[in-house]
Amino acid sequence: MPAKTQDIVARVLARCDQLAQFSELEDGVLRQYLTPEHRAANQQVAQWLNDAGLMSWQDSVGNQWGRLPAAKENVPRLILGSHLDTVPFAGKYDGILGVLLAVELLSYFSDQAPLPFHLDVVGFADEEGTRFGTTLIGSKALAGQFASHWLQLTDRSGTTMADALQEFGLSADQTSAATLNARDILAYWEVHIEQGPVLEALQQPLGVVSGIAGAKRAHIRIQGQAGHAGTTPMHMRQDALAGAAELIQFIETSARGGQHQEVATVGNVNVKPGAANVIAGACTLTLDVRALNDADRDALVLRIEAFAQQMAAQRQLNCEFDWYHEAPAVLCNNHIQQQFHQAARNAGLQIPTLPSGAGHDAMAVASVAPVGMLFLRSPGGISHHPDERVIADDIGLAFNVMKEALMLQALK
Amino acid sequence: MPAKTQDIVARVLARCDQLAQFSELEDGVLRQYLTPEHRAANQQVAQWLNDAGLMSWQDSVGNQWGRLPAAKENVPRLILGSHLDTVPFAGKYDGILGVLLAVELLSYFSDQAPLPFHLDVVGFADEEGTRFGTTLIGSKALAGQFASHWLQLTDRSGTTMADALQEFGLSADQTSAATLNARDILAYWEVHIEQGPVLEALQQPLGVVSGIAGAKRAHIRIQGQAGHAGTTPMHMRQDALAGAAELIQFIETSARGGQHQEVATVGNVNVKPGAANVIAGACTLTLDVRALNDADRDALVLRIEAFAQQMAAQRQLNCEFDWYHEAPAVLCNNHIQQQFHQAARNAGLQIPTLPSGAGHDAMAVASVAPVGMLFLRSPGGISHHPDERVIADDIGLAFNVMKEALMLQALK
């Protein structure tokens, strides 16, 4: 790695450490929407931008922006970015890394020939939804999808989002001012840690994201008949947990057989009455189903529901699905994917394509602009945890690939 | 049903209601060992015995006894009985019915020609183990199996069994005085509700018990790797719950395939971390395995353990069994079983044979005497619950069968 890139990587890592200090927790990282820590992080990022001679501003929902202006004024903007908020006991890189790498890219190009587009960086204010329970607030506001009823959502202490905006120095009346016009946006490019084990397993530092999986989530309730574990013969049971086990097995097998990166997860089971010597009378399972394509995901959901009803009928159980969450899949722009691959080759790398199973701001921005995403490998696949890590060399490679991609874009 | 039998049934049912009034709970039935309610129930049963002109006494661990003496003095005793204590929010018949039916049988034979054996009734003081966590205290004391370390067991309020015996008017030094000599006991016959659904499904009022299943219980710990439900492809998972589901299925299938009334139950699953969007990192299951024959049960246990290790290896999980309870199976005496069947035929009934999956005092008494058990059907298979019921006509039939069995015994 050339000395200059080494400096960039060292600065990015040091700044990730610095932003992690703006935390609501003494013994971990937590930075929620519209808190003093949110303000402090925005101000710090603005300071770094200004130190590099770049413009900075905060929009009407609290997203932090920076800009390297184009030579001409009336040209669209290419936006680089990610989010600055965190979950409780977070790592230091989820979201943050993409913002700070973008700051470095603006800074780098500020020393080069002017670009034919404004090069913007955005640090979205709330992607995780930790405080008010609704995710992608910052990027949805950009995309004109800020829902007015959100203003009445409350945090744990009972403060509404409207009041929190006021306390932050913003106004509940002005959220729509954060919305951008689709024709003003050339593209949105997001660099993010993978938060999964795929790149590490492939021994690849980086990957181009093909799309962001759409998710559906349900609570599955299985009702059987409790009974004495000693006195009820096997053939006379209506064991809700045995039915649940059959369903969990089917869910796993069906998702494994999928051709389009389907994943399906039962993450929890709750058994009633839940005693060692009593046959399970009822179970509740959580189900999370994702695929890169909504039709594939929905086909998998239908197969699971059909099997569940058949299983329930055979076992004289009752089985109900309560679907409480649905987000459509979003594909990354094909041209941008190719451009990232070409940029990687220009930087001397051959990198794979992979889907994102987790949600990202790019999902929301995709409704107003072509989006592209570049993943950095996550050691151990770990994220949303203090052990979240990133490999220094991978940051240098990501910087180079994005730099090459911007150079390709400038030549268009 | 003849008028005389109707009177007996009505009296038994009324007395079950009366004993249910001796409860520690205002809104349900609970009668624990060495409580004022235990004393009151014993005194009431003694009163009923005395009213019928029968002897009564309480032994040194609080079991309530009654006797119709034989013509001669130096003859063995045939003991009829069951237990008088209850679980919390119990029904009115579990144990109680067997004691009160025995009181009626003693009363009936007191008007007949003298028997060649003492006919005893016992109301065991603690079968359920509700207060001190150890079961079959009354019948184990009879069988010389009262363990001296039990005296240091404490109830929820911290009272030791030794102190509770003292408060009840008994002595911790005298528990061995409750032990009977094997050569003095002709047999122990227990009438009990089935607590399961088998007789009801067969549309049979009564059944002869072939034996009491031996039980083994384990906690099974499965350790996998937590991960993001969206970003971890199916083939890269170490999903502890998916492994648990495979194991639960195998347990059910193996027990179903058993030839000797094996039952195996997973009654609870606990998942960590247990979130909808996180792959299960670890699970704990309860396992309860029973069979009429310890060798069959242990063979089933070995099959389950072997499968679990194979499953764990294939899925890169770790699986451990912690066996925390074991009780051997007890067979009912074959001659007594035949005698009960003959008695049933003499009473005009053809009744089935069935195993007991639940434990009973007869298990403990079996170490010093031949034991026999007669089950009454349990509507809905329900017990240990306020909805526990018994059919009046079935009580009349049980009385008749036991009467006939005693007459056969007298002729021997």
Which residues from A are below 8 Å from B250, CB to CB? none
A vs B: CB pairs below 8 A:
202
The reported pLDDT for the residue numbered B260 is 77
For testing the chain A interface, which of B265, B322, B325 should be mutated: the one with the most A CBs within 10 Å? B265
Mean pLDDT of the B363-373 span = 97
The answer to whether residue A55 scores a pLDDT higher than 90 is yes
For residue B222, the distance in angstroms to the closest alpha carbon of chain A comes to 14
Q: What is the dihedral of CA A340, A346, A350, A353, to 10 degrees?
A: 0
Residues of chain B above pLDDT 90, percent:
92
Residue in B111, B80, B95, B101 with CA at minimum distance from that of residue B38: B95
List, as own/partner pairs, every contact residues A150-159 make where C-beta atoms lie below 8 angstroms and the sequence separation is at least 24, other chains included.
Answer: A151/A175, A155/A32, A155/A131
Look up residue A363 and give its two tokens.
């999902």
The answer to whether residue B261 scores a pLDDT higher than 90 is no
The answer to whether residue B373 scores a pLDDT higher than 90 is yes
The reported pLDDT for the residue numbered B133 is 87
pLDDT in tens, B323-341: 988 989 999 999 999 999 9
For residue A297, the distance in angstroms to the closest alpha carbon of chain B comes to 13
Residue in A166, A193, A172, A178 with CA at minimum distance from that of residue A122: A178
Mean pLDDT of the A276-288 span = 94
- Average predicted confidence (pLDDT) for chain B: 96
The reported pLDDT for the residue numbered B259 is 80
**Which of B197, B230, B271 is opposite residue A290, by nearest beta carbon?**
B230
The answer to whether residue B258 scores a pLDDT higher than 90 is no
Ordered by where they begin, the domains of chain A are: 3-212+329-410 (3.40.630.10), 214-327 (3.30.70.360)
Mean pLDDT of the A106-132 span = 96
The reported pLDDT for the residue numbered A261 is 83
Mean pLDDT of the A128-151 span = 95
The answer to whether residue A234 scores a pLDDT higher than 80 is yes
> Rounded to 5 degrees, what are φ and ψ at A125?
-80, -30
The answer to whether residue B23 scores a pLDDT higher than 90 is yes
Residues of B numbered 318-377 whose beta carbons fall under 8 angstroms of chain A's beta carbons: which are they?
356-359
Q: What ipTM describes this predicted complex?
A: 0.86
pLDDT band at residue A3, thresholds of 50, 70 and 90?
Answer: confident
Residues of A numbered 239-268 whose beta carbons fall under 8 angstroms of chain B's beta carbons: which are they?
239, 241-242, 244-246, 248-249, 252, 255-256, 258, 261-268
pLDDT band at residue A133, thresholds of 50, 70 and 90?
Answer: confident
pLDDT band at residue B2, thresholds of 50, 70 and 90?
Answer: confident
pLDDT in tens, B152-202: 999 999 999 999 999 999 999 999 999 999 999 999 999 999 999 999 999
DSSP secondary structure of A20-73: HTS-S-SSSB---TTSHHHHHHHHHHHHHHHHTT-EEEE-TTS-EEEEE--SSS
Helix (H) or strand (E) holding B309: helix B294-315
pLDDT in tens, B99-138: 999 999 999 999 999 999 999 999 999 999 999 988 999 9
CA dist list (Å): A31 to A37, A39, A126, A151, B168: 6, 10, 9, 19, 62
The reported pLDDT for the residue numbered A260 is 77
Which residues from A are below 8 Å from B242, CB to CB? 248-249, 252, 266
